[in-house]
Amino acid sequence: MAQDVHNMDQAERKLSLETATSSPVLKAVRTVPVEKAASLETLIRGSWAPNAVYSLCRLGVPDALSDDPAAATSAADLATRLQCSGPCLLRLLRLCAAYGLLVEVDHTGKDETVEEYRAAAAVGGGSSPLGPGGHAGFATRGADADGAGSSGAAAPAYGRCTAAAAVTAGPDTAAAGGAPMRCDGDGGDLVMREEAGEQLLERAGGAGSSAAAGCPPAGKAPTPADAPRRAAAPVCRERQSGFYLTDMGLMLRESHPSQMRWLSLMLGLPGHYLSRGYLYDNVKEGRMGFEAAFGCDWYTYVASHPLEGTAFDKAMTATSAAAAQTVANAYDFSRHSTVVDVGGGQGLLMTAILHNHPGVQRGYVLELPNVVAAARRLGQRGLEKLHYVEADFFKPFPVSDVDCIVMRLVLHDWPDAEAAALLRHARGALASHGSARLVVVEAVLPELVTPGVGPATVQQLEFDMGMMLMTSGRERSLSEWETLLASAGFRIEAVMGPPQVKVTFLVAAPDRP
């Protein structure tokens, strides 16, 4: 009979795997070390990071949270300001704090350690009032050491939790949908634990300690005399004063020049997030996952979804910032008089080219009408040479006799047939003199993926999945780039740039100028 591996501990699982592999029936099956199962589980579960950061940004946490540890805020206070669920926000903040990059918990307060809590509880005659885990950010001020604030506020009734529910969360917690504590008041030892974002005070066994821990027996209403006892066992005190933003978290603020917030919004909004659920359909049917999910292509979709459209355009700009300088510095655009950035987004790369190469006389950004409108609203002051041109790059370009065409992260959006069509239009727009060039800035995949490829290659392969799902596009190896470019009349002259994701660039010349 099949064993239930979910209920086995690691040793049992290993044994079971070994038994299975020594069985004559299964002898072809290799022994799999248990650690590999753990790695596989990690891979399967994946990371919550994109969704967590997206939610953080969408809620407005980076703008509401201080970056000063001294001004750390409880989740409950923050939730009140942001009008969201305190317990849920607490859990989200804890996860982000665990990721260790965006948010930290202030540990500098004077609050007691777990041991001190236990000692305090023992002095008061109770045991283990604090359950596993801290409870940072809960506004549990009802039982400060001096007893102040442990009001006999109307106790919410939770099952058998009656009188002692007077040990409630502070007033701000309630406003934030916070966590009143519950307790069984029938004489067992009391421990706190967390469940569904709430702190629970519950009976762990033993007798007679509940009152000492602050809970009168069930059915007995709290009396003023209960207050000092609650104070003696400080089950309700915050251990940590709250959360604050790290330097990296600061970059997620709306006003931060890096604009990285938009990348997290783009990746967390339905267009990107839901289409991942269609990976199977994409592979099974060869049909673009995005279209299976939304019934249209990505660019049609963003034209009628302004938040996603804006997030996409700004995310492109945000992730282009470093690359724009790299590209503008690494290739000598000053050899050309007219440069066109096809699908150039909001014009960041063209701006860098014009700044770095005063010899360039005119810079054009060819883009879809909605992107051009948004880019014009942004405005690039002092750049008279920069022109935004509405265009559909699947039609002949509205510019001609161009010295240099640059395309960054445009061709990877499209399958070979469309990419070749686009390239033919580019070929048609280039001047016929011998120095006209096409500069393609894209990732270059290895020809062969060997074991132990580095994180940059893994990232490229992940981008490849994204392209497949979102636009039927693809990342390409050098030989694939050669074939594609040749099909539109170009030959690669040079492969330049650091071997990093998306900043390798291919300089191509028309094969018959």
Q: How many residues bind ligand SAM (CB under 6 A)?
A: 18
Burial class (CB in 10 A: 0-12, 13-18, 19+), 85: middle
Select from 69-77, 92-100, 208-216, 402-410 the region that touches ligand SAM (CB under 6 A): 402-410
Based on the shown chain and the rule CB under 6 A, indicate whether residue 364 belongs to the binding site for ligand SAM.
Answer: no
Beta bridge partners of 477: 445
Q: Which of residues 288-327 bind ligand SAM (CB under 6 A)?
A: 299, 316, 320
**Which of 103, 58, 99, 121 shows the shortest CA–CA distance to 240?**
103
CB of 476 to ligand SAM, least distance (A): 15
Q: Give the strand pairing for 490-496 and 504-510.
A: antiparallel
Strand ranges of the sheet holding 490-496, from the earlier edge strand across to the other edge: 386-390, 362-367, 338-342, 404-408, 437-442, 504-510, 490-496
Based on the shown chain and the rule CB under 6 A, indicate whether residue 392 belongs to the binding site for ligand SAM.
Answer: yes
Identify the residue among 106, 308, 367, 475 touching ligand SAM (CB under 6 A). 367
Alpha helices in 387-490 (DSSP H): 416-429, 455-471, 478-487
Contact (CB, 8 A) for 245 and 66: yes
Q: Could you give phi then psi for residue 97, rounded to 5 degrees?
A: -65, -35
Exposure string for 282-297, b = 16+ CB within 10 A, e = fewer: beeeeebbbbbbbeee
CB of 383 to ligand SAM, least distance (A): 17
CB of 440 to ligand SAM, least distance (A): 11
Based on the shown chain and the rule CB under 6 A, indicate whether residue 347 belongs to the binding site for ligand SAM.
Answer: no
| Both structure tokens of 293 | 């999910």
Of the pair 244, 364, the CB lying nearest ligand SAM is at 364
Select from 52-60, 164-172, 364-372, 428-436 the region that touches ligand SAM (CB under 6 A): 364-372
Q: Give the H or E element holding residue 363.
A: strand 362-367
Identify the residue among 291, 413, 442, 475 touching ligand SAM (CB under 6 A). 413
Of the pair 240, 380, the CB lying nearest ligand SAM is at 380
Name 128's Cβ contacts closer than 8 Å, sequence gap at least 6. Answer: 118, 121, 189, 190, 191, 204
Based on the shown chain and the rule CB under 6 A, indicate whether residue 394 belongs to the binding site for ligand SAM.
Answer: yes
Of the pair 413, 475, the CB lying nearest ligand SAM is at 413
CB of 180 to ligand SAM, least distance (A): 49
Based on the shown chain and the rule CB under 6 A, indicate whether residue 271 belongs to the binding site for ligand SAM.
Answer: no
| Both structure tokens of 350 | 């063209």
Select from 15-23, 200-208, 238-246, 391-399 the region that touches ligand SAM (CB under 6 A): 391-399
Identify the residue among 344, 363, 497, 510 touching ligand SAM (CB under 6 A). 344
Residue nearest to ligand SAM (CB): 343
CB of 408 to ligand SAM, least distance (A): 4
The CA distances from residue 39 to 34, 35, 36, 357, 394, in Å, are 9, 6, 5, 49, 45
Rounded to the nearest 10°, the torsion over CA 264, 269, 274, 275 is -70
Identify the residue among 203, 253, 357, 408 touching ligand SAM (CB under 6 A). 408
Of the pair 23, 300, the CB lying nearest ligand SAM is at 300
Identify the residue among 124, 177, 345, 489 touching ligand SAM (CB under 6 A). 345
Of the pair 73, 346, the CB lying nearest ligand SAM is at 346
Of the pair 403, 442, the CB lying nearest ligand SAM is at 442
CA triplet 206, 211, 212: central angle to 5 degrees? 85
Distance (Å, rounded) from C-alpha 254 to C-alpha 433? 46
Of the pair 181, 503, the CB lying nearest ligand SAM is at 503
Contact (CB, 8 A) for 491 and 485: yes
Of the pair 333, 393, the CB lying nearest ligand SAM is at 393
Select from 130-138, 183-191, 256-264, 409-417 the region that touches ligand SAM (CB under 6 A): 409-417
Name 249's Cβ contacts closer than 8 Å, sequence gap at least 6. Answer: 62, 65, 67, 96, 101, 102, 103
CB of 435 to ligand SAM, least distance (A): 23
Based on the shown chain and the rule CB under 6 A, indicate whether residue 391 belongs to the binding site for ligand SAM.
Answer: yes
Q: Which of residues 109-128 bind ligand SAM (CB under 6 A)?
A: none
Spacing of C-alpha 415 from chain mean position: 27
Of the pair 311, 410, the CB lying nearest ligand SAM is at 410
Based on the shown chain and the rule CB under 6 A, indicate whether residue 410 belongs to the binding site for ligand SAM.
Answer: yes
Name 450's Cβ contacts closer than 8 Å, sequence gap at least 6. Answer: none
Binding site for ligand SAM (CB under 6 A): 299, 316, 320, 343-345, 366-368, 371, 391-394, 408-410, 413
